[in-house]
């Protein structure tokens, strides 16, 4: 028993040392296994078969291969990942994320952000890269970064902002509004400063008039004080020459002559410049030419009573003025005393009106513009 008491302490120390060695070996095994696992993952990412059951020996060889790979100067691919948020901080699902590289602009990688707003690109070559994030209703966001060899690059959250709404407003006048502006200029046209000359335009491509504007111009001429005064002068001349003796003389005879003359003027103005042009879609105005030889301008002006511009901008027979002249002659038979054939009276008056229209065109082309102060002032202010 005394021998056992002497030997026991030595066995106790030996067992303690054995346990220490066992613990050390266990720790070393765990460290080697962990290193082997890391090397296996890295090797698998580079296309090398994962570690097998040969343990430490294969891990050492794998570490040596990876070292040789790095020493060869080649770069390891990496990963790029991140999250897309909206301006409230909520995740943005379904945003399109495109990754492009400066050295590979034609080979972009694209992905859609998932339910958690995240995206991830693997096998990305190291170097500068750019992320472009787009989503419907949001402004495009761009992020640039630089991926190092073998790096897992975590992009800061990309916040989408609402796209700015751009409304295109086309500022301009409609055709009717343009015509209205031009009519206001025409209504300033007065020969010698007081005689209305509204039914002529000096704009080569003047906007066509609608029916309301044609009647407005006709009314402006019909009720102008100068028109009323000119009718009075005309009636006085008729009475002085005792034309239509059936009307008699004195105040009553003058009133009859004034009434018939003004009625004829009204029918001529409205039928020839408003009613028929509206029905036939023709422009009742005289379009000033002002260029070309004198002969060509005379022919142009003389033909204005039989040729006019349509509302479509094309030149065409002046059916409005011709038919209006015939209509005026026919209506005048209702209040003028006629001796002889009614048809002859109608067509005679129509031809007289057509001739007057041609003469009026020549005056417009060569004389009246120079006698209109408004136009002279306008021309003097133009460069």
Q: Is 278 found in the same domain as 136?
A: no
What are the pLDDT tens digits along the chain (383 aa)?
A: 444 455 455 555 555 555 544 444 444 454 445 444 554 454 455 444 443 444 433 333 334 444 444 445 678 889 999 999 988 888 889 999 999 987 777 778 999 999 999 999 998 989 999 999 999 889 999 999 999 998 999 999 999 988 776 655 556 789 999 999 999 999 999 999 999 999 999 999 999 999 999 999 999 999 999 999 999 999 999 999 999 999 999 999 999 999 999 999 999 999 999 999 999 999 999 999 999 999 999 999 999 999 999 999 999 999 999 999 999 999 999 999 888 888 998 999 899 999 999 999 999 999 999 999 877 555 444 44
Q: Is 87 found in the same domain as 67?
A: no
Buried b (16+ CB within 10 A) or exposed e, 370-381: eebebbeeeeee
**Cα→Cα distances 256→202, 240, 269, 315, 327, Å:** 38, 14, 20, 40, 21
**pTM of the full structure:** 0.56
Q: Is 187 found in the same domain as 92?
A: no
In the chain, DSSP assigns E strands to 78-85, 96-101, 104-112, 118-124, 127-134, 141-147, 152-154, 158-159, 190-191, 195-196, 200-201, 286-287, 307-309, 315-317
Q: Is 85 found in the same domain as 57?
A: no
Of the three residues 106, 131, 159, the one that is the final residue of a domain is 159
Q: How far apart are CA 82 and CA 120, in angstroms?
A: 7
Q: Is 360 found in the same domain as 270?
A: yes
Q: Is 248 found in the same domain as 154?
A: no
The CATH number linked to 150 is 2.60.40.1120
Q: Which domain holds residue 47?
A: 2-71
Q: Is 104 found in the same domain as 244?
A: no
Of the three residues 26, 54, 71, the one that is the final residue of a domain is 71
Q: Is 55 found in the same domain as 94?
A: no
- Report if residue 22 sits inside a domain: yes
Of the three residues 101, 128, 159, the one that is the final residue of a domain is 159
Q: How far apart are CA 377 and CA 383, in angstroms?
A: 12
């Amino acid at each position: 028993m005394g021998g056992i008491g002497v030997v026991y302490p030595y066995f106790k120390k030996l067992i303690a040392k054995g346990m220490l060695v066992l613990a050390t070996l266990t720790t070393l095994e765990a460290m080697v296994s962990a290193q082997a696992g890391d090397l296996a993952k890295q090797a698998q990412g580079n296309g090398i078969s994962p570690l097998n059951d040969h343990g430490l020996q294969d891990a050492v060889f794998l570490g040596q291969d990876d070292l040789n790979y790095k020493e060869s100067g080649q770069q390891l691919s990496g990963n790029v990942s991140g999250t897309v948020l909206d301006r409230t901080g909520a995740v943005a699902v379904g945003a399109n994320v495109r990754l492009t590289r400066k050295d590979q602009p034609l080979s972009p990688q694209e992905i859609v952000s998932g339910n958690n707003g995240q995206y991830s690109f693997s096998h990305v070559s190291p170097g500068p890269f750019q992320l472009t994030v787009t989503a419907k209703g949001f402004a495009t966001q761009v992020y640039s970064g630089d991926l190092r060899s073998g790096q897992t690059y975590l992009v800061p959250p990309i916040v989408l902002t609402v796209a700015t709404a751009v409304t295109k407003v086309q500022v301009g006048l409609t055709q009717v509004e343009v015509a209205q502006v031009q009519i206001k200029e025409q209504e300033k046209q007065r020969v010698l400063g007081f005689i209305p000359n509204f039914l002529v335009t000096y704009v080569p491509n003047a906007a066509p008039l609608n029916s309301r504007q044609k009647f407005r111009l006709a009314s402006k001429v019909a009720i102008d004080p100068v028109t009323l005064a000119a009718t009075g002068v005309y009636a006085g001349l008729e009475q002085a020459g005792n034309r239509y003796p059936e009307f008699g003389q004195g105040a009553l005879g003058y009133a009859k002559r004034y009434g018939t003359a003004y009625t004829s003027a009204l029918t001529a103005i409205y039928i020839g410049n408003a009613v028929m042009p509206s029905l036939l879609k023709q422009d009742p105005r005289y379009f000033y030419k002002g260029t070309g030889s004198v002969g060509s301008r005379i022919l142009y002006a003389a033909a204005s009573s039989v040729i006019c511009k349509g509302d479509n901008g094309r030149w065409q027979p002046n059916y409005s003025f011709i038919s209006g002249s015939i209509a005026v002659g026919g209506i005048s038979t209702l209040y003028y005393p006629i001796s002889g054939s009614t048809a002859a009276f109608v067509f005679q008056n129509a031809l007289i009106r057509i001739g007057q229209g041609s003469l009026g065109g020549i005056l417009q082309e060569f004389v009246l513009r120079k006698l209109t102060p408004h136009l002279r002032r306008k021309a003097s202010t133009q460069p």
